[in-house]
Structure formats: C-alpha cells, structure tokens
Amino acid sequence: MEEVNLSYKEVVEKIKSKKINNILFLTGAGISTSSGIPDFRSPNGLYSRLQKYNLEYPEQIFEINYFKKNQMPFYEMDKEFFSNKPHFTSAHYFMAEVYRREQLLYVFSQNVDGLELEAGLPLQKLCQVHGNYRGAKCSKCGFKHDIIKYKEFVQQQVIYKCESCKRGAVRPNVVFFGERLDKEFAKNTYKIAAADCVFIMGTSMQVAPFNLTVDKISKNVPVIVVNRDMVYLPENKYIHLKNDIDDNIEKLMTDLGWDFPKIERNYPPKWFSGSSTSEKNEESDEEEEKQDKEKIYENQEELKNIEQKFEDLNF
C-alpha cells in the first residue's frame, strides 16, 4: 500500500463534500467498551467470577473443545452478558449514520453483540466475522434452535440439550476458537478493494486472518485508526485518533457538522468515562506512545509469521 498524505482535516472535508462515498469499517471489541458489556480481565470482571471452574487461561472459555466438555462457564458468562442489556455507542451510531447518508460500503466486525444493528445499520451491510446471537444450534449435530429458548436455559443456568440428537449442548451461533470463521467473511472481502476510505476502530488488528484484510485496501486510500493503541499496518501510514474512541468519534461527527444523540457511557471498572485527553498530561501520552511503538515492533515478526501461514487462504 502506498503512503497516503491526506490530513485529518482533508479527510473530514472529503466526507462532508461526499467526495468519499464508499467508507469501509473494520471494527473490534473497543467500540463496545462503553456499552455496558462487562470486560473479562479486570478485578471485578467475568474471569474473576469464573475462576471456580479452574480455567487454565481466560480464553479457554471460548474454545470449542472445552465447551463440549464443560458448558457451564460459557453459560454463566452468557447470563452476565444478557443481564447487562448493552446499548449502542457513538461508534456504532457513526457507522449507522454513514449508512443513512449513503456513504457506507460495508462493515466487518469482530464483535458478536450486534449493537451495529441496534444503532440502525441494516444486516446486509454487516459481516459479524465471529458469529452472532441471532440464532443457536447444537454443538454436536448442528440442529438449529431458537435463541430465545437458549436464553431461557441460560437464565436458569441449566444446560440446554439438543431437541434433535438429545446429546449435544445448545450454543449460540458465535465462532469458538477452533472453528471456521463465518462464511460471509470470505464471501465479502472483495469489497475491501472498492473502499475509498477505511476506518479501523477498536481493534489492534493482531488476530489472523482478520488482520490480513488490510492487505486488500487499495492504494492511496486514507486509513483512519480510531483506537487507544497504535496498530501495525504493513508499509502503510495512517491517521491515528488515539485515546477514548467515543470522544474521537463524537469530535469527528461535530467536525463533519452531523447531529448525534447524547449516548450514555457505561464503562467497565478498569476504564474511565469522559475525555481521556483532558485527564492525561503530555508526558504520560509520550510514554504511552513509546510503549505502543515498542509493542508493535515486537509483534511485527510474529505477525509476519501469521501472514505466511494464511497467505494461501482465498478470502
């Protein structure tokens, strides 16, 4: 990818004047942080409440082989997830507003919460790469089940056995570690090359094969990263809007002259609400940026190895 020299102000002007009309989004968990979804690793997070199950590491709860042996940790996590009733954030609203203004090409999301749809994004413009909670199925035979009934069993903390084979446990249509990504991902990645502007929001782009989508971005297309941390993009410079995602998105919509509702933020305990820019001094910002660069440098070789493994995949 060739270097793009557009400034933030120039990108804003091009969006305002509709000279940019095919905006594509690549998103991750960071855009839902302020929605009320509980985080996993904070002192009061979900993992602390699941330690009684003796998980070897937090991510084990998302492994399909572990789920087949022990469903209760995942069911308990889902009960917490359903009880929080998360609400869409300013980032979700922004994507839906881009659609309403007829400037959206497509959204690839690594999130399963579906808050993009709540904000007004139509399903045909969204690919939830890691699945969704719109349906459920048997983990053994694949028989489809009603998600509402699954939620009822989760609420009662009773394992829902398949109504067809009577043996497998019912799970939502999310992608567990060890399973293939949603087929819509491979089916729609061709759209990336048609984008005239790309927003990367709430993701560090370190998980393969999702991170390989950046290689499909056309030359001379502006890339705006809205994320607390820096992102490693091979041979490409980008506009980095760091610190709080909602703060940056609301400023962007203000700069665009777009009206937007005041959306209440409900951060997990380890996060803060309000403007991070005003709460951090320049020295701490510089130190944080230095650490980010060091972390990215350390990950470059690992990412190259991952890319080598997936280079023969046909997305």
Catalytic residue among 87, 130, 145, 240: 130
Q: Strands of 104-109's sheet, edge to edge?
A: 126-128, 104-109, 23-27, 197-201, 223-226, 239-241
pLDDT, residue 86, reads 87
Task: Write the pLDDT tens digit of every residue in 288-313.
Answer: 555 555 554 444 444 444 444 444 44
At 244, the pLDDT band (50, 70, 90 cuts) reads: very high
Domains of the chain, residue spans: 8-37+86-130+181-310, 48-85+133-174
Tokens for 228, please give them. 């607390």
Average pLDDT estimate for 165-173 = 97
Q: Kindly indicate the confidence band of residue 78, based on its pLDDT and cuts at 50, 70 and 90.
A: very high
Comparison of pLDDT for 85 and 127, the residue scoring more: 127
263: tokens are 């959306």
Predicted pLDDT of residue 314? 41
pTM attached to this predicted model: 0.82
User: Mean of the per-residue pLDDT values for the chain?
Assistant: 84
pLDDT recorded at residue 191: 96
Indicate if 130 belongs to the active site.
yes
Provide the pLDDT for residue 276. Answer: 38
8-37+86-130+181-310 and 48-85+133-174 agree in CATH topology: no
CATH number of the domain located at residue range(s) 48-85+133-174 in this protein: 3.30.1600.10
Residues 172/78, Cβ–Cβ less than 8 Å: yes
Which of residues 144 and 50 earns the better pLDDT score? 144
Q: Give the pLDDT band of residue 54 (cuts 50, 70, 90).
A: confident
43-52, 66-75, 137-146: segment of lowest average pLDDT = 43-52
Lowest mean pLDDT among 34-38, 58-62, 84-88, 302-306: 302-306
Rounded to whole angstroms, the Cα distance separating 31 from 227 reads 9
d(C-alpha 24, C-alpha 223), whole Å: 10
pLDDT for 310 = 40
Looking at CATH, the fold of the domain delimited by 8-37+86-130+181-310 is given as: Rossmann fold (3.40.50)
How far apart are the C-alpha atoms of 286 and 68, rounded to whole Å?
A: 46
Q: Which residue has the higher pLDDT, 259 or 236?
A: 259
Where do we find the tokens 């690839």?
Answer: 108
Task: For residue 252, give the nearest of 20, 33, 35, 87 by alpha carbon.
Answer: 20
